Structures are given as C-alpha cells and as structure tokens.
Amino acid sequence: MKSGKEAGKTAEISDQTEKAEPSMEVKESHQTVAVGDASLYLSADDDAAIEAHTGKTIAHVDFDGIPEEVKTKLSPLLQSKPGSTVTAEGIRNDVASLGSTGVFSQIRPNFKDIPEGVDLTYGLVANPIVRDVEFTGNTIFTSDYLKSILQVPEGSVLNFVLVNQKLKEIEDAYLKQGYMLVSIPNVEVTPKGILKVHISEGVIEDIQLVGNDKTKDKVILRELKMKKGKPFNKFQASRSMERLYNLGYFEDVNMKLLPGKENEHNVVIEIDVVEQKTGVITVGAGYSDSDGTVGIIELGDTNFRGTGDKVNFHWEFGGAGDGKNYTISYTRPWINSNGDSLGASIFNRIYEYDDYDSNGDTVAEYDKRRSGWNLTWGRQNGEYRTNYFTFESAKEEYDDHDGFEWGSVATDKGHNKKDYTDAWYKAIMDNFGTTNSFTFTHVFDNRDNYFNASKGRRISFSTQWGGHGLGGDYDFYKFTTEGRFYKGLGNGHILALRLQGGYIDGDVSYGNLFDLGGSNTLRGYEDDQFKGKKMYAATLEYRFPIAKKVQGVLFTDGGSTWGIDNGQIPWYEDDDGFQWSCGVGLRLQTPIGPIRLDYGHGDKNKFHFSFGTQF
C-alpha cells in the first residue's frame, strides 16, 4: 500500500504473502468427502467394471444404502435408465450428479449380470450427521453469528455443497469488512459429529519500521489503526497511511505485506517512510538611521526531536518592536492514549496594518500591537471528529513608533496626519482593547490528504464566547461554520469547494469582525477590504497537475459581509451586496512548504502571494 504526495494517486498494496484458498474438503477422521467430480469417487476397479459392462443393456437401476423415500428424489438425476446401454460417459455423469448433492462420501456403481443384460445398483454411503458446529480462530465475528451464516441444522446429514457455499459467504462477510487475508484452511467432522471450522483471519505478527531516522517509532505506531496481534484490515491500513502522511513529517510512505514467520496464514507489515524537513531556522539583521539595528531569530520544528511535538520561537529585536516582538508556542499532539492534544502560546507582536473603505481605497496606515496568550485542548471524539476548547486573552493597541498616516480616502476629504481629533481617528483608536474569550470548535475531517486533498470533507462549527463574565473590554457571541469538500476527477485533477457562514451578536473588537478580501477569502480585492458581523462566502477551485510538485488552479470566489455599526467604522459604507472574483493560480511544493501564487479579477486585478494551502 502506498501513500504519495500526488493527489488522487491510487493506493497500492505490495502483498508478498500467498493467500490461502478456502478448503474444498471436509474430513471425518482421515477420509475425504468429495463432491461433484466422478474421479473423486471411482476407483481403478470401478473403471474396470464399467469397461467390462460397456454396451450391455441396463435392465434395472437401484440404490443401496439409503431409505426408499430418498431413492425417488435421486432417480431423476441419473442419465442411465432401464433400457439404455452402459457407457463410461453415462456412468461417470451419474456419479458426478449424485456427488453434486453434497451428502455422500462414497458412490460406487455395482453391476449384476442377468439374462436381460445387467442390473445397475449405486452403493451410497451418506456423509456424517452433524450434531454441533464449532468455530476456532475467529475474533472478528462471534461463533453464534457465524453459525447463523452456516445454517447447519443439528442432527442433519452434512451437505458439503451447501456448507461450501456458506463458507464462501463467511469469507465474503470478512472481505466486506476489509479483512482481505482471511482463509478457512481446515474443516473437519469428528467421530462425535462435531463440524469444526477453523478460520485464519490473517493476524499481524509484527510491524517493522524503515527509514525513520529522526521520528521515534512510537510516534508512527500510535497513528496506526492496525495493531500487532490483530487481524489485518485493508481499510485500517489505508487510513493508517493517510494519518501518517497527514502528520507532515514524511515525503513518502509505503507499506509492504510480508509472509508471517510463525504461521503461513499470518502477515508481517513493513512500513517504509521518507522523512522530510520539519525544522525552521531563520536569522537576519539590518540597520537604518530611523530604527537602528534590527534583527530576527526564528526557531521551529513540527516534529521536535522526533517526538511529534510542535515548537516555535520567533523574536524580532530592535526597530519598531523595541525588543518586544516575539511569539513562543508549544503543542503536544498526544497527551494520553486517546490522542488528545494540548497547546499553549504567548505572543507580543507588532505588524503594519492598512484600513480600507468598501471600494478598496486606503483610509489609514499604522502599526498594531497584539499581545497575550492562549491555551488549547483538543479532545478526540472518534476517528474523524475532534473537539477543541480554547481560552485566549489578547490585547490590541496602537503602536506609534512609526506614526500614523492617512490614506488617499482621508486626504481627499481634507484629513491629514496632524488631524488627530478627527472622528475617523477616534473610531480607529476606540477599536483597540482587550478581548478575553472561550471558543469551542467541533471538527469532522475525513480528508485523505490534509495538504492536497482529493477526496473527503472537512466540516467545522465554532462558538466564541467573548467577555460576559470573562473580563476584557468586549461582550459578544460569535458563531462560525465552514465546509470543505473535495472530489477527485482522475489523473490528479480535483474539484474543491469551500462554504463559510458566520454571525456575531454583541460588542466586538475591530479585529474580531468577519472580513473578506485577500488571498485567503476573496482574491482580486484588498486584504480585509470588507468587514461585518454577518458573513457568507464560497470558493470553487479546479486543480490540475502541471509538473512534479507544481499544480495549476482555476478559481472563483464570492461572498458578502455586513451588519457593522456605522459609528464603529465611520468611513465604511455597510453593504450586503454580493462580491465575487475569478482567476488563475499556481501551487508550488517547496522545501519550506507550499507556496501560492494567484491572479484574481475582482473590483481590481490583483496578484496574491502567500504560504500554505488555500483550503
């Protein structure tokens, strides 16, 4: 089985085991019970007797060893009739027909010469009577369930034809559940009439890991849905490969099935991984007359020391940051056997920000500082469902190190950099403050590949409780929902759809409003060009391969956000009109992660450059 980076690539199973065929014989002591083939019943003496009587007229046909009422049911099966002549083909067809009933362990033609020709009598020995049925080796299905499939009545004569059909149904039941290595190597009837059926479920003897020089074995093994000592399941194997690749630690993942060493019906799994770069080290420095010496140091790893932990340290010193421009975060993805996660971060960052009106024209340019901390607990609730609980305290404030500049919209209306009493400036300053909030998010995610999905869906719903007893400057409730859907069209072509919606009730900070515009939501528009308390949006993308690690995209974005109090953003004209755009893009897989290049046509023609995946 193979999981590669190419989206839509069919998983392969490299199976070097020999799957045992279901047994085609039932044994009583050491005697084979045959069915349907004359050669399984006729001995050399029988063949000689047939040859000696070939051509003679059959005067009478009878059966020996069975009740009279059964003889009438068997007579129609015979090709040899009174008045016909003995032929080797006819006798063999008779034996085969009687054998196909499945209830006889011995069938022998006996000839008696008489003046009119020969009397033909078939000596029959019935299969044993079944007193009970016992299953061994079964762990997936209960014996009672398997008995309900086999349907052998207590005290009935063993009918191997029917039993063989039912054994095939048992195998099919296993196969439908993904247990592709199941076999039934042995079926026996004891002298006491116990029908014993041994099932080999294809148990995993061992799991061997190859290629994980950095990643610890336990990090890989905890992601596997299949376990040592349990039957191999192809669905669990496929899901395990998806989980391993979705970690982001491996460039490629392959699985091989090797023959078991302890039992020929068992299997040894070998998982080969090709590790990729997960760490980031960035060091930079510069000097200017206004800022003096400035620098940046960033250290991070999404697979810290091979443990799977995520750690990041980002520090900018000098300049506008005045030594207080940092982010420190740590996430432990497995804090217990359930796969729960725990993450925390503290931050104090400054960044340049532009305000726009609804036409995309600049209102003001200034620096924002955002500082605070958050704590997130992720609770696994099944294979594809996770609940996240996040508490965050964040303070946004104006940073005047680089000053405040009005944009074209403000200067056209007579504003300037010295007009700090203007209502617009006051509205901007009033939108800074502290937000304390608790957020609950429920996520269903069964995508095959988090980084470039070709099938599956991701559906999320979140509720953010701001203030209302948690402190801070704002009291609000924020509800957001999102659905992502993927359809593989073959040969790496993918259709992807994202739908979003949201609603805010209460007094919310400027930074917590819904926004549309920019590379992540509405391409062809300025970043965060549209603001509101109500929002809906949609994105449709057609993705196609161009070259190795290069993907082309055709897209259309659309949506609207509205419902702002005019006093909060006085320069903004609130409008619930629908905005849309279309365009083309490229996706590049690089050693530093995915890169997106998009050209969108909205109210403007605009290029967008960003890191990471769109959705």
The single-letter DSSP state of residue 220 is: H
611, β-bridge pairs: 595
Q: How many CA atoms lie within 13 A of 96 on its CB side?
A: 10
Instruction: Provide the pLDDT confidence category of residue 232 given band limits of 50, 70 and 90.
Output: very high
Among 133-147, 316-330, 388-402, 439-453, the least confident range: 316-330
Cβ–Cβ under 8 Å, residues 318 and 292: yes
Q: What's the confidence (pLDDT) of residue 293? A: 66
Q: Read off the tokens for 544.
A: 């196609």
Q: 322 by DSSP, 3-state: which?
A: coil
Judged by average pLDDT, the poorest of 26-30, 57-61, 82-86, 116-120 is 26-30
Does 28 score more than 50 pLDDT?
no
Considering the chain, what is the average pLDDT of its residues? 87
Tokens 């004209």 belong to: 573
On whether the CB atoms of residues 244 and 448 are closer than 8 A, the answer is no
Number of C-beta neighbours around residue 21 at 10 A: 10
> 525-579, pLDDT tens digit by residue?
988 889 999 999 999 999 999 998 899 999 999 999 999 877 778 878 888 889 9
pLDDT score for 560 = 96
| pLDDT of amino acid 160 | 82
**Neighbour-count burial of 293, counting CB atoms closer than 10 A to its CB (0-12 exposed, 13-18 middle, 19+ buried):** exposed
Cα–Cα nearest to 431, from 531, 510, 372: 510
Please state the length of the chain.
615
pLDDT digits (tens, 9 = 90+) for 309-351: 999 998 887 664 455 789 999 999 999 999 999 999 999 988 8
**More confidently predicted of 3 and 289:** 289
Q: Read off φ and ψ for residue 437, nearest 5 degrees.
A: -150, 155
At 419 the pLDDT is 52
In the beta sheet, which residues pair with residue 329? 312, 345
What are the structural domains, with CATH classification, of the chain? 34-126 (3.10.20.310), 334-611 (2.40.160.50)
Give the Cα separation of 290 and 305 in Å (integer).
Answer: 40
Choose the weakest-confidence range: 42-51, 271-280, 566-575: 566-575
When comparing pLDDT for 35 and 372, which is higher? 372
| Between residues 582 and 420, the one the model is more confident about | 582
Q: What is the largest CA-CA distance in the chain?
A: 136
Q: Rounded to an integer, what distance in angstroms lies between the CA atom of residue 395 and that of residue 390?
A: 16
* Lowest-confidence segment of 12-21, 127-136, 437-446, 589-598 by average pLDDT: 12-21
Can you give the pLDDT at residue 18?
40
pTM higher than the cut 0.85: no
| Separation CA 310–CA 345 (nearest Å) | 11
Residue 367: the pLDDT is 87
Q: Residue 13: its pLDDT value, please?
A: 43
User: 209: how many CB neighbours lie within 10 A of its CB?
Assistant: 15
